[in-house]
A and B are shown apart, each in its own frame.
Chain A
Amino acid sequence: MSETPPDIVEAQEICGRYPAGDAAGLFPALQGLQEALNYVPVTGVKVICEHLGVPLARAFSLATFYKAFSLSPKGKVIIRICTGTACHVRGAQRLIDEMTKELEIAPGETTEDLEFTLETTSCVGACAMAPVVSVGGRYQGPVKPGKLVKAIR
């Protein structure tokens, strides 16, 4: 017998937390999958939908609507450039341009080696540090152009 892929195992474990056939578990179950795997793989979503008895379309309407869900795998290090108003006025775009050039990916994309994901985020509430970037969950700022490239190298 072949080994069950990790995303299926994870999805099965999450199913255990919500009663079968109860559609109310869909949103938290997807959040659980996202948290565990950093994305929501189609295979895992199918397992959850079968368990909860909801159509796949409903799961995907949630997964594509909310920014919290990603349908493709993310990199080990997530670089989030805040594009809130304060950061915009203080040059967030320059940082995006710089990262796009350096990593050769657009915001929302992941490098081929799955090392980095580049994202933009709405205001993170640290406007005094604008422009703010979170690298692997740690806020930095104010980030000067050039400094970010050094930080990720």
Chain B
Amino acid sequence: MNDLRLSSVSELEEAAARARGVRDAREAEVLVCAGTGCLANGSAELKDALGEEIQAGGLEAKVEMFVKRTGCHGFCEKGPLVVIRPGGVCYQRVKVTDAKAIVEKTLVGGEVIERLTYKDPNTKERIEKREDIPFYARQKRVALRRSGSVDPTDIEDCLAEGGYRAMAKAFAKMTPDDVIDEVTRSGLRGRGGAGFPAGRKWRACRDAEGEPRHVVCNAGGLAESDPHAVLEGMAIGAYAVGASLGHVFIREEYPLALERVSRAVEQARERGLLGEDILGTGFDFDLRIVLAGGGFVAGESSAVIKSLAGEVGEPRAKYVRSAVMGLNGCPTVLNNVETWANVPLIIERGADAFRGIGTESSPGTKVLALGGRVKNTGIVEVPLGTSLRDIVCGAGGGVSGDRALVGIQIGGPSGGFVPTELLDTELDFDSLAALGSIMGNGGLVVMDDRTCVLDVARYFTHFLAEESCGKCAPCREGVPQLYEMLNEICEGRGEPEDLDKIRSLAEVVARASLCGLGKTAPNPVLTALRHFGDDIRAHIEEKKCPAGVCRALTTFQIDAELCNGCRVCAKNCPMESITGERKETHVINVEICDRCGICRSVCPSDAVVAV
């Protein structure tokens, strides 16, 4: 026993009050984003520099200033990000050399440094506060409620923000059945891709025979920003289904998540929030962390369970669900990290409050990774039911370079394409399914008129062919063959009858594959055919790539009317195939040009055209 241990619900409440007291006594807090993106841009050094400036100015003695690292703020495009509380002033692309000015002008002088604030690319106005920036104003942060405001490495900070309060409520005031009923009533659906109702899964596990039971989290990057929300959600789930052991499965591509979850587990154990007799309620629950060996298929639910047992992560046929017979043959609930992070809020505020957000069939919010040709790349959380166009043009800020929006691709590698004319579709599990897509991992890629749908479909199909575990023939043989056929078309060797062949093979793969990977692998190619048929036919019939991406079907030319002779293209050409004097029209030598398209992407006057 140590003296940090909280042995009752009232001790947890006292500890939370103490932590809030410490936080509230601070004159100011400087929140420095320590997400993967901002760290790579130097935010760790920035945090140190801010700390040194505060000390150098003797501010620690006068007023309490506090610099803390936080989880990802989401607006990775503009990192490193700094937010100053109170007030909520947000600075972006902050450099170490800005630390002095921030301390002297903003912290001491109370003055906003305009050059570091966000400049709206559409209105050219400066925006001082984080909540006023459209990227944030258009979001509804539920699963990410504490991401970007708490220090993910400090349990005190999490307690101050209400961490583990829901767990205490569940253990002390609710029976396991109450918890399952509440989650069922909330309508929470699995955020990992398929959208299976969490309450039903939990109920099936509770009703199944076999001990010990397990809860599993398939974790991704989200776990690094607020690991305690995930731990708390899992503890509540474990209590509901009667599990004593939990497993957090982390992909090796996320070293930061591994580090932070490990630390959070240690801190929670030290505080008695994990382990034996949690908060004196008599409930025992502990967690272990398992580093995933990698691979997309290893994220499939039955494959995760095999991996946890130290076996090859191949899926199995699911005649019996994992909730009934999972890890070591015992009932196992596997939910994704975002699903778990939603659980504490449902318990704390109730199912009705949760249902107040989102749609009837898909309540709550969804975290999306916005990327591709969009102004604001980053992590956003929006209410389900938001239109896809609102996401791209609202939080996303529109297409980069204000080019024409052609469509989006949503759901990760096995998701589907949605064309511009269908972007008023509301984001939810069922409406995406109706378009031939899935919610998947929540990746949303914006495509402009320089993105070739066929190329992206080929890219995803190649990825899935590589990731297929090879256990069942339809997926092992079918997906690489789909890739080959798409590749032929991209390379200019497509024939009109190929499209029917692709459709019929895709149908076999979708219907006959063993697991979700194979069943959804044809989504990219099928949705490309369904919504972008003209573009694909142009590759076959006219041997042209309308977007100017497929190299075999593209030739670049410089439009003499538009070229101002700035030499930018010539300087950037890796093949040295562009000639022309300054202020005179440039020419591309098509004999040397390898059609990489760099000239087109760098030209400031859009003079390079694909023909």
Residue B181 is within 8 A (CB to CB) of chain A in the complex: no
Interface centre among A86, A94, A141, A145 (most CB of B within 10 A): A86
Closest to B601 in A: A91
Question: Which residues of chain B have C-beta atoms less than 8 A from A141's C-beta?
Answer: 40
State which residues 423-480 of B face A: CB under 8 Å: 443, 445, 447, 451, 456, 459-460, 463, 469
Residue B87 is within 8 A (CB to CB) of chain A in the complex: no
Question: Which residues of chain A have C-beta atoms less than 8 A from B314's C-beta?
Answer: 65
CB distance from B519 to the nearest CB of A (A): 20
Question: Which residues of chain A have C-beta atoms less than 8 A from B312's C-beta?
Answer: 61-62, 65-66
CB distance from A131 to the nearest CB of B (A): 11
Flag if A126 contacts B295 (CB, 8 Å): no
- Are A125 and B295 also in contact (CB < 8 A) when A62-B312, A66-B313, A89-B371 are? no
Per the bound structure, the CA–CA distance linking A151 and B159 in Å amounts to: 44
Closest to B470 in A: A65
Residue B36 is within 8 A (CB to CB) of chain A in the complex: yes
Question: Which residues of chain A have C-beta atoms less than 8 A from B293's C-beta?
Answer: 27, 31, 62, 65-69
Residue B51 is within 8 A (CB to CB) of chain A in the complex: no
Per the bound structure, the CA–CA distance linking A129 and B39 in Å amounts to: 11
Flag if B37 contacts A67 (CB, 8 Å): no
Per the bound structure, the CA–CA distance linking A83 and B254 in Å amounts to: 15
**Contact partner, B295, options A67, A88, A129, A132, Cβ 8 Å:** A67
Flag if A126 contacts B598 (CB, 8 Å): no
Query: What is the 8 Å Cβ interface bit string for chain A, positions 44-75, against chain B (1 contact, 0 not)?
Result: 00000000000000000110011111000000
Per the bound structure, the CA–CA distance linking A33 and B412 in Å amounts to: 32
Closest to A89 in B: B372
Flag if B36 contacts A66 (CB, 8 Å): no
Closest to A86 in B: B371
Flag if A85 contacts B377 (CB, 8 Å): no
Closest to A83 in B: B463
CB distance from B250 to the nearest CB of A (A): 12
Flag if A129 contacts B40 (CB, 8 Å): yes
Question: Which residues of chain B have C-beta atoms less than 8 A from A27's C-beta?
Answer: 293, 310
Flag if B40 contacts A94 (CB, 8 Å): no
Question: Which residues of chain B have C-beta atoms less than 8 A from A130's C-beta?
Answer: 371, 377
State which residues 304-323 of B face A: CB under 8 Å: 310-314
Residue B191 is within 8 A (CB to CB) of chain A in the complex: no
Per the bound structure, the CA–CA distance linking A140 and B79 in Å amounts to: 13
Flag if B373 contacts A89 (CB, 8 Å): yes
State which residues 1-52 of A face B: CB under 8 Å: 23-24, 26-28, 31
Flag if B254 contacts A125 (CB, 8 Å): yes
Residue B27 is within 8 A (CB to CB) of chain A in the complex: no
Question: Which residues of chain A have C-beta atoms less than 8 A from B252's C-beta?
Answer: 68
- Are A126 and B254 also in contact (CB < 8 A) when A66-B298, A88-B459 are? no
Residue A100 is within 8 A (CB to CB) of chain B in the complex: no
Residue B83 is within 8 A (CB to CB) of chain A in the complex: no
Per the bound structure, the CA–CA distance linking A121 and B572 in Å amounts to: 26
Question: Which residues of chain A have C-beta atoms less than 8 A from B121's C-beta?
Answer: none
**Contact partner, B371, options A31, A61, A94, A127, Cβ 8 Å:** A127
Residue B190 is within 8 A (CB to CB) of chain A in the complex: no
State which residues 379-432 of B face A: CB under 8 Å: 409, 412-413
Flag if B79 contacts A89 (CB, 8 Å): no
**Contact partner, A139, options B36, B451, B469, Cβ 8 Å:** B36
Flag if A126 contacts B310 (CB, 8 Å): no
Closest to B574 in A: A145
Flag if B298 contacts A86 (CB, 8 Å): no
Per the bound structure, the CA–CA distance linking A130 and B319 in Å amounts to: 41
CB distance from B243 to the nearest CB of A (A): 19
**Contact partner, B40, options A24, A121, A123, A126, Cβ 8 Å:** A126
Residue A146 is within 8 A (CB to CB) of chain B in the complex: yes
Residue A109 is within 8 A (CB to CB) of chain B in the complex: no
Residue B326 is within 8 A (CB to CB) of chain A in the complex: no
Closest to B447 in A: A89
Closest to A62 in B: B312
Flag if A123 contacts B598 (CB, 8 Å): no
Residue B253 is within 8 A (CB to CB) of chain A in the complex: yes
CB distance from B72 to the nearest CB of A (A): 9
Flag if A125 contacts B36 (CB, 8 Å): yes
CB distance from A21 to the nearest CB of B (A): 15
Flag if A125 contacts B40 (CB, 8 Å): no
Residue B221 is within 8 A (CB to CB) of chain A in the complex: yes
Residue B508 is within 8 A (CB to CB) of chain A in the complex: no
Flag if A128 contacts B574 (CB, 8 Å): no
Question: Which residues of chain A have C-beta atoms less than 8 A from B456's C-beta?
Answer: 85, 88-89
Question: Which residues of chain A have C-beta atoms less than 8 A from B409's C-beta?
Answer: 85
Query: What is the 8 Å Cβ interface bit string for chain B, positions 576-598, against chain A (1 contact, 0 not)?
Result: 00000000000000000000101
Question: Which residues of chain B have C-beta atoms less than 8 A from A91's C-beta?
Answer: 601
Flag if A65 contacts B469 (CB, 8 Å): yes
Question: Which residues of chain B have C-beta atoms less than 8 A from A24's C-beta?
Answer: 310
Question: Which residues of chain B have C-beta atoms less than 8 A from A98's C-beta?
Answer: 574
Flag if B469 contacts A94 (CB, 8 Å): no
Flag if A66 contacts B295 (CB, 8 Å): yes
Query: What is the 8 Å Cβ interface bit string for chain A, positions 75-114, against chain B (1 contact, 0 not)?
Result: 0000000010110111100100010000000000000000
State which residues 43-80 of B face A: CB under 8 Å: 76-77, 79
Flag if A31 contacts B291 (CB, 8 Å): yes
**Contact partner, A68, options B294, B369, B412, B596, Cβ 8 Å:** B294
A-B contacts, 28 of them at CB < 8 A, read: A31-B293, A61-B312, A62-B312, A66-B293, A66-B295, A66-B312, A66-B313, A67-B293, A67-B295, A69-B293, A85-B413, A85-B445, A86-B371, A88-B456, A89-B372, A89-B373, A89-B456, A94-B598, A98-B574, A122-B296, A124-B36, A125-B221, A125-B253, A127-B37, A127-B371, A145-B572, A145-B574, A145-B596
Question: Which residues of B approach A to under 8 Å, CB–CB?
Answer: 36-37, 39-41, 76-77, 79, 220-221, 252-254, 291-296, 298, 310-314, 369, 371-373, 377-378, 409, 412-413, 443, 445, 447, 451, 456, 459-460, 463, 469, 572, 574, 596, 598, 601
Contacts A83-B463, A122-B296, A139-B39 known; 12 new A-B pairs at CB < 8 A: A66-B295, A66-B298, A68-B292, A69-B293, A89-B371, A94-B598, A98-B574, A122-B253, A125-B220, A132-B40, A145-B596, A146-B574
**Lowest 6 A-B CB distances belong to which pairs?**
A66-B293, A128-B76, A86-B371, A139-B40, A27-B310, A67-B294
